[in-house]
Amino acid sequence: MAQTINTEVTRVDARRKVTGTASYAADSIPAGMLHGALACTAVAMGRIAGIDTARAEAEPGVVAVFTHETLPDYKTVKGFYAGGPGSASFWPMEGTEIRYAGQPFAYVVAETAAAARRGADLIAVRYEEDAAQIHMDPGESFIIGAGEDSEGMTLTKGDIEAGLGAAAQTVEATYRTPFQHHNPMEMFAATAEWRGEQLTVWMPSQSVRTLRGGIAKAYGLPETSVRVLSPFVGGAFGSKAGVTPYAMLTIAAARAVGAPVRLIVTRPQMYTVATFRPETEQKFRLGADADGKLTAFEHVEIAQTSRFDDVVNPGTHMTRSMYACPNIHTEQRLARSDTNSGGFMRAPNEMQTFFGLESAMDELAWKLGMDPVELRRVNDTNRHPVKDVPFSSRSLMESYDAVSRSFGWADRGREVGSMTDGDWLVGYGCATATYPTNMSPSSARVRMQGSGHAYVELAAHDVGTGSYTIFAQIAAAQLGLPVEAVDVVMGEADLPLAPIAGGSTTAASSGSAVHIACTNIARGVAEKVAAQKDGPLAGLDPAQITLENGVLKGPGGESQSLAEALASTPMGEIEAEGQYRHPALTDKALRMTYHGGYGVAGPVTPEMAMFAFGAQMAEVHVHRYTHEIRVPRLHGAFAAGTWLNRKTAHSQLMGGMVWGLGSALHEITEVDTPRARFLNANIAEYLIPVNADVRELRVEMLEERDDYVNPLGVKGIGELGIVGTAAAVGNAVYHATGKRLTAIPMRISDIVSA
């Protein structure tokens, strides 16, 4: 069988993307299309007292101006955190109420995008403004899931105070992480076209089924009347998962003007009309005996949320899965402030919490006088610390050992401030990476022609990660075809069920469905030729018949071409579906996925705990005079089951580490506290790493076999590379300077002030 898995395969859509022939959602322009634009509030809290649209309506090219009073047939859906598909529970333009800065209050339709934008700027609005608070007050936080058993958000095992009392060393520390915004290159966009009661929506999406289901339900239409198309996605990172106001406003506006309408949200508006990563506080109390074994593990996460949703991304679930400890207490808390609802942003539960946990572990190692790698080794465990089930595979220390070798960990100075390079203070730091392996149900349909060409169809998404390529590889491997002979069709809600492109589930879950569908095809063809009355393979055991390069072969060298084998089938082809469901997936989770929700098995099933692991090491230079922080070396080693495509997997992990570096040093949505407004709402002032920041970055991909997670043994890797980077950098800053930075991003000003 052709070796197409665990090899380096260039993206099948690479040429289309770099030559501009890959058609993104907003590239589709239905005949007669008009342009939409949003007008958004200057104030964060209060009411619309009056809107004057006269000047906007008089602007040449403006077709219509809609406000909360004039937009007919505008529908909304329930928010995600209330069990619905929406990006938030509060919907703008249903009334006069203003709940966050930059809230849409009018929608302009015009003949050109420029006229629509200009029209939006010409709307005069009067506010009754109330005071607003944008930062959470951790002192006002409330607990989530208190009193429930260990399935819940909040958990106690053993006696935390006794564990702290028995400890030789303890660490008590609080770490802070800021508001962040996703900033995908491709802007938020929606194009809606109504033909009678048939609606087509083109929109970059991480979940076309969520979108279709939500829209259909809101309008009382059968799902077959709503088409949702999202062929390529130019980055999403969690920001394009839900049904958003900008989409529903565009759909309503298109219906009202009787013409297709396309809205492209402006970059500054992207900071307010959808979700973001909420700011958090991570409070830890750790205790360890003289050998470093944890005796107490307490983690309280306080995350910001809106007034109208409980945006809870339970990071303590991840931290308490990490190290062996007899006494564990975790709390998941929220604190409200006046923003739109946050949501998930790449490694939504892990980036913040592992900055905290892995910084605290480093503090503990220094207190104990231990090598921080050895502290992780002492506390490594092959059973889940809370659920007491085995890990299906866990290559944490293999990762540490590999990255230690490549990085030269043993060569570090043992004391703080013991290494320099000219005017630069040098430090080394390490941290653990982990990401849960969540298995969604998925289906796929595969059609193979006698000519040896196959088509794979499923309602999955390629958000820039390489899904088109890996599904082609999986199919090619199973059908004995070259990768180029497989076409993959995705990003359309009418195709077979596939999950949200989130939680690093797509490759493992939908990949399993593709694998099963192709297995069914290969078996189907073998059974067909074996059942022939005559023919070279007639009467053979189908299990002994292989399919390679369009030829079916028997154990004795008998052969028949695929074309011949399929000649008598309708259209000369064979089709099969594959349906994947992890054995531990509950019926409830399955139903949730049918309706466009996020239903998964794992990471902890009744039998096993499923996580991917890795280890990161950073060399940090801090300038003696100016305190600039630079990271000349960043190494990571990761194990995540089978590597489907070594090239795109490497890119995912490397991209994750760059993302983590951004969280460590750059990324923050600056906030104006008096007016409760996000400030640096553009990619000139919202800093992320540029090439000059990423110097030596090395990714090592370890071999790992896991037969439990899914038929291909694959764990998701879209987010793994982010986790731990910020702590590794911060720990290296401490090693270089003796200054413990407890908030990200870590910037010049923090060292000057520390």
Partner 1 sequence: MKPFEYLRAADRGTARRDAAMPAAAYIAGGTNLLDLMKLEVMQPERLVDINRLDMKSVETTGEGGLRIGALVTNSDLAAHETVIADYPLLSRALLAGASGQLRNKATTGGNLLQRTRCYYFYDTAMACNKRDPGSGCAAIGGATRLHAILGASAQCIATHPSDMAVAMLALDAEVEIEEESGETRRIPLREFHTLPGDTPHIETVLPQGALITAVHLPAPAGGTQIYRKVRDRASYAFALVSIAARVTLEDGKIAQVALAFGGVAHKPWRDPEVEKALIGKAPSRALFDTAADILLADARGQGDNDFKIPLVRRTLRAVLTEATGGAG
- Residues marked active site are found at 719
Question: Closer to partner 1 at the Cβ: 134 or 199?
Answer: 134
Question: Closer to partner 1 at the Cβ: 410 or 752?
Answer: 752
List CB contacts of 690: < 8 A, sequence separation 6 or more. Answer: none
List CB contacts of 227: < 8 A, sequence separation 6 or more. Answer: 198, 199, 200, 201, 212, 492, 493, 494
Three-state DSSP class for residue 156: strand
Question: Closer to partner 1 at the Cβ: 120 or 446?
Answer: 120
What's the rounded Cα separation, in Å, for the pair 559 and 443? Answer: 32
Contacts 24+ apart (CB under 8 A), 379-382: 379/292, 379/293, 379/294, 379/323, 379/324, 379/325, 380/323, 380/324, 381/323, 381/324
Question: Closer to partner 1 at the Cβ: 581 or 747?
Answer: 747
Residue 55: CB minimum distance to partner 1, A: 12
What's the rounded Cα separation, in Å, for the pair 504 and 344? Answer: 12
Would you tell me which residues interact with partner 1 (CB under 8 A)?
41-43, 101, 114, 117-118, 121, 268, 423, 623-630, 665-666, 670-675, 677, 679-682, 684-685, 687, 689-693, 745, 747-749, 752-753
What's the rounded Cα separation, in Å, for the pair 26 and 726? Answer: 35
User: DSSP readout, 175-221?
Assistant: EEE--B----SSPPEEEEEEETTEEEEE---S-HHHHHHHHHHHHT-
| Paired sense of beta strands 486-489 and 454-457, if any | parallel
Residue 422: CB minimum distance to partner 1, A: 11
List CB contacts of 729: < 8 A, sequence separation 6 or more. Answer: 429, 618, 620, 629, 631, 634, 661, 664, 665, 746
What's the rounded Cα separation, in Å, for the pair 111 and 727? Answer: 50
Question: Closer to partner 1 at the Cβ: 586 or 673?
Answer: 673
Q: Which two tokens stand for residue 611?
A: 């996580």
Residue 304: CB minimum distance to partner 1, A: 17
Three-state DSSP class for residue 379: coil
Residue 690: CB minimum distance to partner 1, A: 5
What's the rounded Cα separation, in Å, for the pair 548 and 479? Answer: 7
- The answer to whether residues 596 and 228 touch, using CB atoms and an 8 Å cutoff, is no
Peptide bond into 536 cis (omega under 30): no
Q: Which of 530, 458, 534 is nearest to 496 (CA)?
A: 458
Question: Closer to partner 1 at the Cβ: 229 or 665?
Answer: 665
Residue 280: CB minimum distance to partner 1, A: 19
Residue 351: CB minimum distance to partner 1, A: 19
Residue 682: CB minimum distance to partner 1, A: 8
Residue whose pair of structure tokens reads 């062929």 in the numeric block = 231
CB atoms within 10 A of CB 510: 32
Question: Closer to partner 1 at the Cβ: 163 or 745?
Answer: 745
Question: Closer to partner 1 at the Cβ: 101 or 525?
Answer: 101
Residue 41: CB minimum distance to partner 1, A: 8
Question: Closer to partner 1 at the Cβ: 162 or 688?
Answer: 688
Question: Closer to partner 1 at the Cβ: 311 or 665?
Answer: 665
Residue 751: CB minimum distance to partner 1, A: 9
Q: Which of 611, 517, 669 is nearest to 180 (CA)?
A: 669
Question: Closer to partner 1 at the Cβ: 41 or 510?
Answer: 41
**Buried residues in 481-493 as b, exposed as e (16+ CB within 10 A):** bebebbebbbbbb
Peptide bond into 745 cis (omega under 30): yes
Q: Which two tokens stand for residue 268?
A: 């500054």
Q: Which of 459, 340, 334 is nearest to 91 (CA)?
A: 340
| Paired sense of beta strands 34-40 and 261-264, if any | parallel
Residue 184: CB minimum distance to partner 1, A: 19
Residue type, 111: E
Residue 368: CB minimum distance to partner 1, A: 33
User: DSSP readout, 423-472?
Assistant: TEEEEEEEEEEEEE--B--EEEEEEEETTS-EEEE-S---SSSSHHHHHH
What's the rounded Cα separation, in Å, for the pair 642 and 10? Answer: 18
